[in-house]
Structure 1
Amino acid sequence: MPAPDRPQRTTHFGFREVPESAKDDLVAGVFHSVANKYDLMNDLMSLGVHRLWKQFATEASGVRGGFRVLDVAGGTGDLAAKFAVRAGRRGQVVVADINDSMLGVGRERLADRGIAGNVSFVRANAENLPFPEDYFDRVTIAFGLRNVTHIERALASMLRVLKPGGALLVLEFSRPVFPGLNKLYDAYSFNVLPWLGRVVARDADSYRYLAESIRKHPDQETLKTMMQQAGFERVEYHNLSGGIVALHKGYKF
């Protein structure tokens, strides 16, 4: 008698439930579509504030000369450019991203800015990073963790490649903490963002997904707990822009 088929495991893709095996391809489709307009859309969507969020993360990272830094889901290279200056010629910055289109844009952007020599680009899945154990002084992931199928696997993978004493920094959209901000934020996310996506990037659906993915991402305390369960210590977070974004930081000892 044949064994009964096992039910297929599902996960969220925005507000849709999809097979786990399909999520990577669906997310890839989003970022292939928006890669060329990604940085412009970030400026428009956040009114330029994303640059301040990334600057805060850069300062909080403590990256200095000679550090090895891995920027996961680093795509267009915003953080990598900042880390390359801080790490200097003796340092190393690796941009890892699962999406070839985003990596291509990142290579071109940094080359145009004359940033080379200590920066490399690697196609890699955050859940299975192809780097040695105990290798990097810092690992960062900015606005990418919510797109990962299994967050706990990605956290474990990032912990593995960190040196003892190294730190992970997660910059991600989170939950507003100011009274009344949720309603305004929802109205903006589900009306203005898809409209901008349609007008500027010719892709409303991808930006509707991005808005939905924020709502499915763990809140500040839940992500802190997940990092602790993965093995990170001294985990703390800072709310930015009233909790619309949060920076989590945890160490490997």
Structure 2
Amino acid sequence: MSLVSRHCVQTCNFFLKTVRDYSTKAAINPDISSSNNEESNNETNQTEAQTHFGFKYIPESAKETLVGQVFANVASKYDLMNDAMSIGIHRLWKDHFIRSLAPGPGTKLIDVAGGTGDIALGFLNYCKEIHGDRSAHATVLDINPKMLEVGKKRFAKTLFNKTSQVSFKVGNAEQLDYPSNSFDAYTIAFGIRNCTHIDKVLKDAYRVLKPGGRFMCLEFGKVEHPIISPIYNLYSFQVIPVLGQIIAADRDSYQYLVESIRQFPSQPEFARMVRDAGFALVGKGWEDLTFGVAAIHSGFKL
């Protein structure tokens, strides 16, 4: 058995033991998703357009505030929880995401919902290591100031600290405060599903990209494998919220995050949305990662 495989097995065993120990103290409700649906549907306000917040349906005007509260709550533990939930695999996904983008020298990137700065840092490291380039620039944009603070602390430990290669900005993905044709590349990783109007996000992504610019989105997907799918569902609903309670002292936020994944369009559906925003798709429009647990969506502004 390889060192990596042995590490994964040991980590899985640790998490399973931790969850079992915790479960003796706190009952896990397997029907939480259906009860949330039932309660929220009864509370639906018919006077305003509705959107989903996990499995609940709420007025569109409320979602931005509620999502903001989630990420303000988890910001300090966000990276640690990503490692715990994915057993570190999210790092491999993000490395592959950046390699697939393959930015050239002098690329001007906007990383939307970039919060903790890992995509922007990976992008700048790639440009330096592959091209010896120190002229590339990353704009890290997030609607949540607490997430951006985590990103700034990350960059403070790197050679890019206090350089002109990175900037941080509070902003809304649905209405970017940049002129049209401003960026060579637009990335958004595990963020678009939290937006109220995904179509508006895609249209503004198209607007701010230069002709020939590339849109890339890394997001959770639908797992269709007949064996993997039920295991993934069990892990998502029974383990991840418990890890959220143990590590971040916040079960509810991670219950929402799991539910938000299930509410996000399937890979073919989201690819159609990207195409409808004006992008020319790369191949079929997406690449599945780890049986479709995550997927990379990509298109060009022609």
Band the TM-score falls in, shorter-chain normalisation: over 0.9
Alpha-carbon distance between aligned partners in 2 of 1:71 and 1:93, rounded to the nearest angstrom: 7
Q: Residue 65 of structure 1: CA displacement?
A: 1.5
Alpha-carbon distance between aligned partners in 2 of 1:171 and 1:239, rounded to the nearest angstrom: 10
- Verify: 1:13 aligned to 2:53, yes or no: yes
Alpha-carbon distance between aligned partners in 1 of 2:182 and 2:65, rounded to the nearest angstrom: 29
Contact 1:72 1:95 in 2 (8 A): yes
Tell me which amino acid in the other structure corresponds to 2:216.
Answer: L
Q: Residue 213 of structure 1: CA displacement?
A: 0.1
Deviation track 1:155-183 (CA, whole Å, cap 9, x = no partner) reads: 00111000100110010000013222221
Alpha-carbon distance between aligned partners in 1 of 2:86 and 2:49, rounded to the nearest angstrom: 35
SS at match of 1:126: coil
Deviation track 1:129-173 (CA, whole Å, cap 9, x = no partner) reads: 111211111100000010000000000011100010011001000
SS at match of 2:114: coil
Q: Percent identity, aligned pairs only? A: 47
**Which residue of the other structure, out of 79, 102, 113, is the alignment partner of 2:147?**
102
Contact 1:34 1:203 in 2 (8 A): yes
SS at match of 2:104: coil
Q: Residue 113 of structure 1: CA displacement?
A: 2.3
Q: Residue 115 of structure 1: CA displacement?
A: 2.2
Alpha-carbon distance between aligned partners in 2 of 1:178 and 1:138, rounded to the nearest angstrom: 32
1:30-179 matches, within 5 Å, as 30-87=70-127, 88-116=133-161, 117=163, 118-179=165-226
SS at match of 2:291: helix
Alpha-carbon distance between aligned partners in 2 of 1:90 and 1:109, rounded to the nearest angstrom: 20
Aligned to 1:206: 253
Q: Residue 37 of structure 1: CA displacement?
A: 0.2
Alpha-carbon distance between aligned partners in 2 of 1:89 and 1:184, rounded to the nearest angstrom: 44
Q: Which runs of 4+ in 1 moved over 3 A?
A: none
User: Where does structure 2 lack aligned partners over 5 or more consecutive residues?
Assistant: 1-45, 128-132
Alpha-carbon distance between aligned partners in 1 of 2:84 and 2:254, rounded to the nearest angstrom: 12
SS at match of 2:176: coil
Q: Residue 85 of structure 1: CA displacement?
A: 2.4
Tell me which amino acid in the other structure corresponds to 2:301.
Answer: K
- RMSD after superposition: 1.2
Q: Residue 112 of structure 1: CA displacement?
A: 1.6
TM-score normalised by structure 2 residue count: 0.81
How many corresponding residue pairs? 249
Q: Residue 114 of structure 1: CA displacement?
A: 3.0
Tell me which amino acid in the other structure corresponds to 1:186.
Answer: N
Tell me which amino acid in the other structure corresponds to 1:247.
Answer: I
Greater radius of gyration (CA): 2
Alpha-carbon distance between aligned partners in 1 of 2:86 and 2:262, rounded to the nearest angstrom: 17
Task: Please say which of residues 174-183 and 71-80 is displaced more in the overlay.
Answer: 174-183
Deviation track 1:185-220 (CA, whole Å, cap 9, x = no partner) reads: 111011110100001000000000000000000010
Contact 1:174 1:245 in 2 (8 A): yes
Tell me which amino acid in the other structure corresponds to 1:246.
Answer: A
Aligned to 2:21: none
Alpha-carbon distance between aligned partners in 2 of 1:177 and 1:167, rounded to the nearest angstrom: 28
Tell me which amino acid in the other structure corresponds to 1:19.
Answer: P
Tell me which amino acid in the other structure corresponds to 1:106.
Answer: G
Q: Residue 84 of structure 1: CA displacement?
A: 1.6
Contact 1:65 1:86 in 2 (8 A): no
